[in-house]
Each structure stands twice: as structure tokens, then as C-alpha cells.
Amino acid sequence: MNASATTAQPRGCTNLKLRQLSRAVTRHYDAYVAKTGLKNTQYSLLSHVVLLGPIQPVELARRMKLEASTLTRNLQPLVAQGWVEVGPGVDARSRSISATADGRAKRAEAQRAWKQAQLALNERLGEARVVRLHELLDACLAELATAEGTRDD
């Protein structure tokens, strides 16, 4: 038997498999975080604002790897709930995003729920598998970032 016959070959669509995994993991985290009144995306955004704010929208979008319009749309419910404020920035043309005291409290509540979700996922999949998954994902992200940085399009 030659080496190529024993080498595993990818089967199926990598994009589809990643999307299926992403949806399953999102449902898992949603089941925990939703109890706090937040969606996963809102928890992530609120966490970034708490940790990085006050911050300009363009910088927040860059750090979260979001389009500016997506950031604006995702901020609206957090502003409406009083968890985030959008105020004047360093000059007349800029804005600044910051978390309110209620927002910091909501983030702390959601962080506890997120931690429970993470522990439950670790238990379900096994910590060793989760560590290997993180290593593989980090390596793939780094490789894709390198490839994107060298493209000529």
C-alpha cells in the first residue's frame, strides 16, 4: 500500500462543516446566555465595549472585525436598554462608545452565564478535544490571515 492510499482525504465541504459546528456551538451558548436577556452577539459586543471603552466606533468595528453598518445595527438594542452610550468623541466629527454602570452589571451577569456554557461544553466535548480544537482553529486563522495579507487583489 502506498502512502497516498493511507493518507486521509478531506470529505465534504469545509465551509458547510464549519457553519454546522458554529450553529451548534451558538445554540449551546445561547441556551445559557439568553437567560440574561442578551444574545451571544450582544454579549460579545457589550464585553468589548466594557473592556475597550470608551472607544470610537471605527476602532471597535476594527477590533471586532465587523463592518461599520453591522456595528451600528448591533449597538442599537444595547443603547435602547441603557447598557451602552454613544456620545461625543475627541472632536466634533467623532463619536465615543462606552458602557454604562447598568451595562457593566449586565456584562458581569452574562459573563457568569457564558462561563457556565463554556464549562458545560468542555464537559460535553472533553477538555482535551476543546484544547486541540482551539489550537487547530488558531493555526488555521493565522494561516488564512497570512494568505490574505499576501494577496494582490
pLDDT in tens, 3-16: 555 688 888 899 99
Q: How far apart are CA 47 and CA 55, in angstroms?
A: 12
Q: For residue 34, what are the contacts with CB-CB under 8 A and spacing of at least 6?
A: none
What is the overall mean pLDDT for the chain? Answer: 90
Does a structural domain hold residue 57? yes
- What pLDDT is recorded for position 89? 79
HSE, CB side, 13 Å, CA atoms: give it for residue 96.
13
Q: Which domain holds residue 58?
A: 33-147
- 81, three cell numbers: 436598554
Q: Is the pLDDT of residue 2 over 60?
A: no
- Domain assignment present for residue 118? The answer is yes
Q: Is residue 18, in this structure, part of any structural domain at all? A: no
Which pLDDT tens digit goes with each residue over 22-55?
Answer: 999 999 999 999 999 999 999 999 999 999 989 9
> Distance between CA atoms of 102 and 143, rounded to whole angstroms?
40
State how far the Cα of 49 lies from the Cα of 66, in Å rounded to an integer. 14
Residues 92-113: tens digit of each pLDDT = 788 999 999 999 999 999 999 9
- Bridge partner list, 95: 88
Q: Among 11-25, 59-73, 84-98, 119-133, where is mean pLDDT lowest? A: 84-98
Say whether pLDDT at 20 is over 70.
Answer: yes
Task: Give the domain CATH number at 137.
Answer: 1.10.10.10
How far from 27 is each of 56, 110, 117, CA to CA, in Å?
Answer: 31, 15, 10
User: Which value, to the nearest 10 degrees, does the dihedral of the CA atoms of residues 107, 109, 110, 114 take?
Assistant: 130
- State the total domains in the chain: 1
pLDDT of residue 153: 37
Contact in structure between 60 and 101 (CB atoms under 8 Å): no
Give the pLDDT of residue 152: 41
